[in-house]
Amino acid sequence: MITVQRAKEILSNAKGKPVLACGDVMLDAYLTGPADRFSQEAPVPVIAVSDEKFFPGGAGNAAACMAAAGLAPHLVSVTGGNGRIKYSEILEEECKKAGIISHFSADPDRKTTLKLRLAAVKTTKQHVARVDMEDTKALDAGKEKEIIKYIESLVEEIKPPVISIHDYKKGFLTENIFRTICSISEKKKIPVFADLKQDTFLKFRNLIKAPQQFFLKPNRIESVETAKALEKFDKDGSGDAEIAEIASIIQRETPICIFITRGRKGAAYFEPRKEPYFVRPEEVEDQFDVAGAGDTVEAFLVAGYLGGATMPEALELAVAASQVAIRKFGTSVVMEKELLEGVAKN
């Protein structure tokens, strides 16, 4: 298992290195306050908002986690201009605060994706409701071309040693954008770390030109659904042997490297023609919120790789970070001190 000293060394080596992150960006908002009465208009609590917090969400959360790990994430995405409240401006401001170098293109025909949580406070915080505002249609041809030029020019400008993809099915990741990233990866030998929805991977998997440097990170449920679609897999992926079988099914057609996250059971790494590597953390008793845990894993896999870690070491680092993240409420990042304490505990 990875030691605290080794984790320090990896994070130190990774500091300041650029990452080109691409994906669906969101604004995560939290409105919190006491709820001492019910509305006269409907049987719902009235929350007297006393605190409001905003965070980069989606690909923005992954980039914020990378920044917290000491990397220099350059985030390419699309924001909206459709709506009276300029959520895109708040998002830009929060990205800057988080240490993200944003390269956003505003689309007047789209909404900036907003995830608004309402939380009532009595003796504890109670998540009362979530309000979503979003457009999920694919980018139009003009915006797609603009994003492709962004990506190509940034690759030449910052020369990223890693490209990361963060897919939330909000329309950013089109076939042409994915094809462009895969072509760049092959031509310039840049590894791609991808957090893709199951059906996105199934649609685009044949576009992966350099599978030996493509790292996919599905969770257990997504990996099960992928295996079902490919070979009518009929198990739930709960055991080690089943997870290994799933990875084998996926790699049979597309020999990529795969990290499969397994919730409380940790995660596993599968590289073609090598033995799998399982990370099994201690049981987390105070699991408050799993929101953003996948982004945390993706961010620290990238940080580990850039810090010279082996893939098993990178996965141990990422799982330790996720164990810290799920103890926090809402969208959050894991700081180096917290991560090192987590490594020491495990």
Contacts 24+ apart (CB under 8 A), 225-230: 225/198, 226/198, 226/201, 226/202, 226/250, 229/198, 229/202, 230/202
- Total Cβ atoms within 10 A of residue 148: 17
**Which domains are delineated in the chain?**
4-26+56-111+135-345 (3.40.1190.20)
pLDDT score, position 57: 94
Element (H, E) at 83: none
For 223, phi then psi, to 5°, come to -70, -35
Average pLDDT in the 280-299 region? 70
DSSP 219: B
pLDDT, tens digit, 9 for 90 and up, residues 109-142: 999 999 999 999 875 678 889 999 999 999 999 9
- Dist. CA 29–CA 132, nearest whole Å: 10
Query: What is the percent of the chain with per-residue pLDDT over 90, rounded to a whole number?
Result: 80
What pLDDT band is residue 330 in, cutting at 50, 70 and 90?
Answer: low
Strand partners, 129: 118
Distances (CA, A) of 152 to 54, 77, 128, 195, 302: 30, 14, 43, 21, 20
pLDDT of residue 276: 96
27-60 tens-digit pLDDT: 999 999 999 899 999 998 899 999 999 999 999 9
Give the pLDDT confidence score for residue 100 in this predicted structure. Answer: 98
